[in-house]
C-alpha cells in the first residue's frame, strides 16, 4: 500500500490475515525432518498447519487443543497424545500481546494451560503473530484457567475476574476466565496467580520461555530473538 493511502476495513482484515500467514509460513521453515513439534492454537496457527503439511517432513507432533489436533489430522499431520513424548524440539504458537522484552499474554482461545505445558517442553518456543499483537505494555484481560472446584472462592480471592461467557470448560475440566484488573509488573502478577490455590494456569508467559518472535507486516516479516 502507498504511504498516505487509507485502507478500507475489509482490505485491512485481508491484510491482517496475510500477515498471520506470512509469519506462520516463515515459522514452518524452521521445522526439519525428525523433529518433535508442539502445535499451538488459534487463527495464526491455522496457517501454520497447511504450511507444515506442504513441507512433508517426517515429524512427530503434539497439539495444544482438540481444535488443533482435528485440523492437523485433517491435513495428514500425525498427532500423538502428550504422554508419548517428554520433550519437543520446537513449539510454534500465536499470542494475543507481545512486548519488546518478550512477555506474552496468551489464551484468547482458552488453551493457555496446555499451551504453556507444551511450550515449556520445547527446546525452542517460536511465537507467530500479525502486526496488531506487539504492545508497549501488557494490558488486561489476562486469561486464567481455574479449577472448577471452589471456583467462586478463587474468583473472590483474586477480585477482578470474570468467567468467560460462552466458553466451554477446558479439555481438562477447567473454568476459563479473564483477570480484568491492572497488569502492572507482569512478573509480580504471574507470581500472584502461581501462588493462588485454584488457579490452574494463566496466560502470562515470561521472556524466559520465548526464543523467537516472528511478526508479519504488510510487506515484510520481522523476526526477533528473545533468549
- In angstroms, the CA 173 to CA 186 distance is 26
Smallest distance from ligand 5RP to CB 3, Å: 27
Q: Which is nearer to ligand 5RP, 69 or 115 (CB)?
A: 115
Q: Which is nearer to ligand 5RP, 14 or 153 (CB)?
A: 14
- In angstroms, the CA 130 to CA 28 distance is 15
Q: Which is nearer to ligand 5RP, 89 or 178 (CB)?
A: 178
Q: Could you tell me where the DSSP H helices lie in the chain?
A: 9-28, 45-55, 66-74, 112-120, 151-158, 186-194
Q: Give, as ranges, the residues between 14 and 53 that touch ligand 5RP (CB under 6 A).
A: 40-44
Residue 167 engages ligand 5RP in binding (rule: CB under 6 A):
no
> 126, 115 in Cβ contact below 8 A?
no
**Region binding ligand 5RP by CB under 6 A among candidate stretches 1-9, 25-33, 87-95, 216-224:** 87-95
| Pairing verdict, β 122-130 and 88-93 | parallel
Partnered with residue 126 across adjacent β-strands are 92, 212
Instruction: Enter the DSSP assignment of 8.
Output: P
Which one from 25, 115, 145, 222 is the annotated catalytic residue? 115
Among 135, 120, 128, CA closest to 221: 128
* C-alpha R_g of the chain: 18
Binding residue for ligand 5RP, selected from 25, 93, 145, 178, defined by CB under 6 A: 93
Smallest distance from ligand 5RP to CB 47, Å: 9
Smallest distance from ligand 5RP to CB 31, Å: 18
Q: Give, as ranges, the residues between 100 and 119 that touch ligand 5RP (CB under 6 A).
A: 106-112, 115
CA 151 remoteness from chain centre: 24
* Count of positions on this chain that bind ligand 5RP (CB under 6 A): 17
Active site residue 115: yes
Residue 69 engages ligand 5RP in binding (rule: CB under 6 A):
no
In the chain, what is the straight-line distance between the N-terminal and C-terminal CA atoms, in Å? Answer: 34
| Pairing verdict, β 122-130 and 142-146 | unpaired
Residue 94 engages ligand 5RP in binding (rule: CB under 6 A):
yes
Smallest distance from ligand 5RP to CB 123, Å: 20
Binding site for ligand 5RP (CB under 6 A): 40-44, 93-96, 106-112, 115
Please identify every residue annotated as catalytic. 115
Amino acid at each position: 500500500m502507498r504511504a498516505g493511502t487509507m485502507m478500507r476495513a475489509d482490505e485491512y482484515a485481508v491484510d491482517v490475515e496475510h500477515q498471520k500467514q506470512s509469519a506462520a509460513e516463515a515459522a514452518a521453515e524452521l521445522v526439519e525432518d525428525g523433529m518433535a513439534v508442539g502445535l499451538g492454537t488459534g487463527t495464526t496457527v491455522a496457517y501454520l498447519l497447511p504450511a507444515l503439511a506442504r513441507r512433508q517432513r517426517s515429524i512427530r507432533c503434539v497439539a495444544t487443543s482438540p481444535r488443533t489436533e482435528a485440523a492437523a489430522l485433517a491435513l495428514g499431520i500425525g498427532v500423538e497424545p502428550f504422554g508419548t513424548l517428554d520433550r519437543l524440539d520446537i513449539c510454534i504458537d500465536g499470542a494475543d500481546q507481545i512486548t519488546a522484552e518478550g512477555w506474552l499474554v496468551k489464551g484468547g482461545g482458552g488453551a493457555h494451560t496446555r499451551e504453556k505445558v507444551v511450550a515449556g517442553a520445547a527446546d525452542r518456543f517460536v511465537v507467530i503473530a500479525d502486526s496488531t499483537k506487539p504492545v508497549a505494555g501488557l494490558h488486561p484481560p489476562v486469561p486464567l484457567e481455574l479449577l472448577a472446584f471452589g471456583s467462586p472462592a478463587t474468583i473472590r480471592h483474586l477480585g477482578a475476574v470474570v468467567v468467560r461467557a460462552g466458553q466451554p470448560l477446558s479439555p481438562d475440566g477447567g473454568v476459563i476466565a479473564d483477570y480484568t484488573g491492572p497488569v502492572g509488573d507482569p512478573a509480580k502478577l504471574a507470581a500472584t496467580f502461581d501462588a493462588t490455590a485454584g488457579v490452574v494456569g494463566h496466560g502470562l508467559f515470561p521472556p524466559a520461555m520465548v526464543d523467537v518472535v516472528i511478526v508479519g507486516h504488510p510487506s515484510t516479516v520481522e523476526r526477533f530473538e528473545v533468549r
